[in-house]
């Protein structure tokens, strides 16, 4: 993987991930070839011959299901066409810089022994004057896209969300765009293992309960609330966590965000190329499974296991 930031799985760990899915690296490679051949026969899809890593990542996230992988790839490129405001990325823009200045949104460099990547999100300040939840979403999707297409290989995800700087104004911005957020999630294949919420203010509980009500029932046992980082360390190896979260990884989340921003900037040309990979709806021969009007409240589509 082409990353100076992320520590990836060893070949042995990758083999263990494949074994858990009942497959092998050789079979995965054959399946990727099969899916790419299928993509070439779909006239509405872009040319994906350069996207073998993304196809493999989607295949793993879809638990080695060829049919589900094909559906998710179609959704992924369809959503970039139908909802482009969070799909077109430019790391040279002032918007990108401003969003990075307001947010921590990082995959932590060290991966767990069992192949799970931990993602940390928190605001840098309570100032909500210029905050826009969809810009934050855009930054999150940038990270997902580059990771699963080029830089990373992980079996599942653990998300840590620290709400210590969250204000009522932030909550209002999130609620305003919640449906759009769920629509974008429909276009990305990844498996959430756990959610860990830190420092949740009382006024955010109603929003969280709203989100929980739209999730599959089995996720309710995977959402954990913590009042301090000591509780968090009972679930996550401290060697993975940055030092300002009680961990022993020798950098703060601010340091890591600066490095991750540079990693994104380094791949500026890659993002520009990805912006061109969209569907041509005029050439679609079958009705899409992805319908905007059917996605309101679609948190139930989020894969958690």
Write the pLDDT tens digit of every residue in 168-199.
999 998 888 887 887 787 888 888 899 999 99
Burial class (CB in 10 A: 0-12, 13-18, 19+), 123: buried
pLDDT at 59: 95
**pLDDT tens digits, 92-150:** 999 999 999 999 999 999 999 989 999 999 999 999 999 999 899 999 999 999 999 99
Indicate the helix (H) or strand (E) that contains 178.
helix 178-185
Secondary structure class of 3 (helix, strand, coil): coil
Look at residue 291 in the predicted model and tell me its pLDDT: 57
Query: Taking the model in full, what pTM does it have?
Result: 0.90
Q: 170, exposed or middle or buried, with CB in 10 Å at 0-12, 13-18, 19+? A: buried
Asked if 257 and 244 count as a contact pair (C-beta separation under 8 A), the reply is no
Question: Distance between CA 72 and CA 187 in Å, rounded?
Answer: 6
Please give the mean pLDDT across all residues of the chain.
88
Instruction: Quickly state the pLDDT bin for 294 (edges 50, 70, 90).
Output: very low
For the chain, list the domains and their CATH numbers: 11-84+276-282 (no CATH), 94-266 (3.40.525.10)
Q: What is the mean pLDDT of residues 276-282?
A: 91
What is the DSSP pairing of strand 223-226 with strand 103-107? unpaired
**What is the rounded distance in angstroms from the CA atom of residue 113 to the CA atom of residue 102?**
31
Region 75-97: what's the mean pLDDT? 85
């Amino acid at each position: 993987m082409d990353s100076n930031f992320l520590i990836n799985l060893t070949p042995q760990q990758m083999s263990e991930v494949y074994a858990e899915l009942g497959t092998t690296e050789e079979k995965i490679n054959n399946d990727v070839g099969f899916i790419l051949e299928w993509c070439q026969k779909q006239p509405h899809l872009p040319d994906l011959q350069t996207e073998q890593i993304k196809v493999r990542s989607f295949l793993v996230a879809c638990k080695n299901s060829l049919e589900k992988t094909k559906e998710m790839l179609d959704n992924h490129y369809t959503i970039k066409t139908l909802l482009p405001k969070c799909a077109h990325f430019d790391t040279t823009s002032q918007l990108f810089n401003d969003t990075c200045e307001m947010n921590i949104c990082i995959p932590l460099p060290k991966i767990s022994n069992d192949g799970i990547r931990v993602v940390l999100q928190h605001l840098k300040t309570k100032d909500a004057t210029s905050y826009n939840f969809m810009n934050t979403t855009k930054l999150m999707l940038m990270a997902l896209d580059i990771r699963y297409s080029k830089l990373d290989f992980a079996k599942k995800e653990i998300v840590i969300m620290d709400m210590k700087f969250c204000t009522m104004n932030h909550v209002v911005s999130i609620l305003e765009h919640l449906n759009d957020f769920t629509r974008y999630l429909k276009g990305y294949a990844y498996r959430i293992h756990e959610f860990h919420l830190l420092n949740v203010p009382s006024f955010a509980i109603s929003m969280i309960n709203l989100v929980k009500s739209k999730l599959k029932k089995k996720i309710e046992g995977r959402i954990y609330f913590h009042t301090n980082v000591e509780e968090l360390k009972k679930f996550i190896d401290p060697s993975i966590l940055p030092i300002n979260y009680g961990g022993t990884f020798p950098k703060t989340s601010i340091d890591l965000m600066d490095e991750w921003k540079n990693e994104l900037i380094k791949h500026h040309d890659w993002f520009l190329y990805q912006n061109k990979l969209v569907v041509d709806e005029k050439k679609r021969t079958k009705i899409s499974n992805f319908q905007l009007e059917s996605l309101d409240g679609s948190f139930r589509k989020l894969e958690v296991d």
